[in-house]
Structure 1
Amino acid sequence: MKIRANNIDIEIEDTAEINPQDGDAYTRPVVLLIMGLGMQLVAWPAQFVQALVDAGFRVIRMDNRDVGLSQHFDHLYTPNLLWAGIKYKLGLPVRAPYSVTDMAADAIGVLDVLAIGQAHVVGVSMGGMIAQRVAIAAPQKVLSLTSIMSSSGAKGLPQADPAVMRALISRPANNTPEAAVDHYVKLFKAIGSPSYPTPEDEMREHILQGVQRSFHPEGTLRQMLAIVSDITRAEQLSRITCPTLVLHGKADPLVPYVHGEDTAQRIGGSRLLGMEGMGHDLPSEPVAWILDALIPHLQAAEPLPPYIATAPAPLDPSAYQVLV
């Protein structure tokens, strides 16, 4: 369903809405799932969502801005990624149509519109970056943080293999669904888990479902620029105080494992777990491993005290000099 959050239209899927016969669906602790670059809410594996529901959680998924069925931003410019990459390597500021912080505000807005005071926030890849920003911006709303195959965005961390980057920034041969599926098959094979390869027919079927739902590569480019321009997050991660779990594949060819290590080092008290043979995707075996770590992490988090906004104290006139 579509809601108006942070002044834009956001498509969400809420398990409480899907299962209205479940009498306690709206009173369950909430898990907000935030997907990665260019990916839609349907990219979360069904087994992942169902396992969280079976564990007693209300699960909310969302299409990030500019992808899927959420609001697109085609009125803004389409980035020149080559020029942006050169500026990034030279240490020059990169201007983006919107920021990761803006996307975090979208996620916070979803919780606000649904009258959810507190939630567990789980993000994959770029979604992990957004989740980190949510925890920085709205600590009173975040019961726990889970950052999966993501990064702190710190300068100097190793980058993806050039062949992987070329696959990431390449475009389909044409605008047909078949070309889009071929493009994503090549990309997912390049970044996938070497020890847990997804059969190509299964991969093609899942990709086609996503393409038929929505295909908006221009939005992916703008999201990519938002990632590159987010240069202050690493220094701000020390502000995060909620229970934090960092999960990362040790064979990730797109966001190398050291990114997960760096993220965990910057968030006090966080826990880092790595999986051998896991790349930058969510096949069934890594999903099972993630769930084995994630569900106890969510269950262990204590509810936060109710957040009460306080009015500023009255000014003491004697403390100020009146200038005429």
Structure 2
Amino acid sequence: MTGQPEPEVRTARCGDVDIAYDTLGSPQDPTVLLVNGLGTQLTGWHPDLCAAVAAEGFHVVRFDNRDVGLSTHLHEAGRPDLSPLAQGGTVTDAPYTLADMAADTAGLVDALGVERVHLVGVSLGGMVAQETALAHPERVASLTSVMSTPGGGVGRGTPEALAVLTLPPVPDEAAAGERGVAVARVIGSPAYPADEAEVAQRSRAAYRRANDPVGVARQYAAVLASGDRTERLRGLAVPTLVVHGEADPLIRVEAGRATADAVPGARLVTLPGMGHDLPRELWPRLVAEIAAHARAAQERTG
């Protein structure tokens, strides 16, 4: 399923939380910092995909956001109240926001001892990456926002896709594998069906590594309480690439177009047949786009 071993996990103190991360490639190369989506651990970035980015001459770092994986879980914050969603209301009961997660990300950049990073975020990770570029532009050499949104309900998903965000917790590892497959069938790429055996295996491994559904709910509350970044993005000077699947049912392609329209000089790449995942068949294109974007930013800034 993979030809790459999982690297050693390290921990950095970032403000009031510990952030778990690992690295691949030479630290002498420019750093690509990968930010993952809602409830997804650093292991969600497939080792083979990370190796492909590293092979382009980059130092690849992936990490667990707060409340997932081996990073700090804010158990004392409890479960946020997401019930207003059922009536189409607004969630305000969030113990933290995307700005706090962006501060974690900037803190990790400091801990890595690098001046700036090429930031690549998917889904919620794209929102965190956008917020990091807005609040800490001096730490971001380039931004790549993948299957994400500027917020404010732009590109709102189908009811079936949105339902996967509030499914009840699974009781055990076997059920976690079944859940991973079921979710992939709803939000995955119709043109590139997932290897369901691999999806199940990786979902079971994620459950064994760390399972905290209340932490995931707190992340979701952070998204819902953080508002729309569109107007702020209009002043962003960080070189920006936006990538979005044209068949994404969870965050529709309109959200990618809105992000690219908001950021001055941003380049938009839409991929036919791609849903809300990163199918292996599209890795060569994705890696090429990320690498070319990062190199162009390096050349502009020296």
TM-score, normalization: structure 1?
0.86
Aligned 8 A contact 2:31 2:118 in 1: yes
Aligned 8 A contact 1:250 1:276 in 2: yes
Give the corresponding residue for 1:182: 178
Aligned 8 A contact 2:176 2:200 in 1: no
Q: 1:138-217 alignment to 2 at 5 Å?
A: 138-155=136-153, 157-172=154-169, 174-217=170-213
What secondary structure, in the 3-state scheme, does the structure 2 residue paired with 1:269 have?
coil
What secondary structure, in the 3-state scheme, does the structure 1 residue paired with 2:298 have?
coil
> Does 2:278 correspond to 1:282?
yes
Instruction: Using the TM superposition, name which of 118-127 and 287-296 deviates more.
Output: 287-296
CA distance in 2, matches of 1:286, 1:47: 13
CA distance in 1, matches of 2:300, 2:212: 38
| Deviation, structure 1 residue 11 | 0.3
CA distance in 1, matches of 2:274, 2:120: 18
Write the deviation string for residues 131-186 of structure 1: whole angstroms up to 9, x where unpaired.
Answer: 0011001111111000000000034x3421112222221114x4211122222221
What's the % identity of the aligned pairs? 38
Unaligned runs of at least 5 residues, structure 2:
1-9
Counterpart selection for 1:293 from 282, 289, 292: 289
CA distance in 2, matches of 1:134, 1:36: 15
Write the deviation string for residues 195-215 of structure 1: whole angstroms up to 9, x where unpaired.
Answer: 001121121112112111111
Give the corresponding residue for 2:54: 53
Amino acid at match of 1:12: Y
CA distance in 1, matches of 2:242, 2:142: 11
What secondary structure, in the 3-state scheme, does the structure 2 residue paired with 1:302 have?
helix
| Deviation, structure 1 residue 85 | 5.3
> Does 2:214 correspond to 1:218?
yes
| Deviation, structure 1 residue 187 | 1.3
Q: 1:1-324 alignment to 2 at 5 Å?
A: 1-15=10-24, 25-84=26-85, 86=87, 89-90=88-89, 92=90, 94-155=92-153, 157-172=154-169, 174-302=170-298
- The structure with the larger Rg is 1
| Deviation, structure 1 residue 283 | 1.5
Write the deviation string for residues 227-268 of structure 1: whole angstroms up to 9, x where unpaired.
Answer: 011114222111211110000000001000000000000000
Aligned 8 A contact 1:143 1:304 in 2: no
| Deviation, structure 1 residue 287 | 2.1
Q: How many residues align?
A: 293
CA distance in 2, matches of 1:82, 1:159: 18
CA distance in 2, matches of 1:118, 1:303: 14
Aligned 8 A contact 2:244 2:256 in 1: yes
CA distance in 2, matches of 1:82, 1:185: 26
What secondary structure, in the 3-state scheme, does the structure 1 residue paired with 2:201 have?
helix
CA distance in 2, matches of 1:195, 1:305: 38
- CA-atom RMSD, angstroms? 1.7
User: Alpha carbons of 1:197 and 1:139: their partners in 2 closer, same or farther (altered >3 Å)?
Assistant: same
Aligned 8 A contact 2:32 2:120 in 1: yes
